[in-house]
């Protein structure tokens, strides 16, 4: 009976996650800035709706 954690399946998973990405590359600083701006915008709009 074969186990689910065979070395072949583990190597396949590792090679899948190590595959080079072909999509657009995101700069971490720009991404964090956009997220922070979005959070601040939501908080400001929420506060404006309450007042």
For the chain, the farthest-separated pair of C-alpha atoms sits apart, in whole angstroms, at 66
pTM for this entry: 0.52
Instruction: Indicate the number of domains in the chain.
Output: 1
Evaluate if residue 1 carries a pLDDT over 80: no
* pLDDT of res. 50: 73
Residue 30 belongs to what domain range?
25-51
- 29 domain-assigned: yes
pLDDT at site 29: 94
User: Count of alpha carbons within 13 Å of 42, Cβ hemisphere only?
Assistant: 6
- Res 32: pLDDT: 95
Q: Is 10 in a helix, a strand, or coil? A: helix
Would residue 15 count as lying in a domain?
no
Can you list the alpha helix ranges (DSSP code H) found in 1-51? Answer: 7-17, 28-50
pLDDT for 4-41, tens place per residue?
Answer: 555 555 555 555 555 566 777 788 999 999 999 999 99
């Amino acid at each position: 009976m074969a186990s689910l954690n065979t070395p072949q399946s583990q190597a396949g998973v590792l090679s899948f996650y190590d595959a080079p990405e072909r999509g657009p590359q995101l700069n971490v600083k720009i991404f964090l800035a956009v997220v922070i701006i979005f959070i601040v915008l939501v908080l400001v709009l929420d506060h404006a709706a309450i007042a």
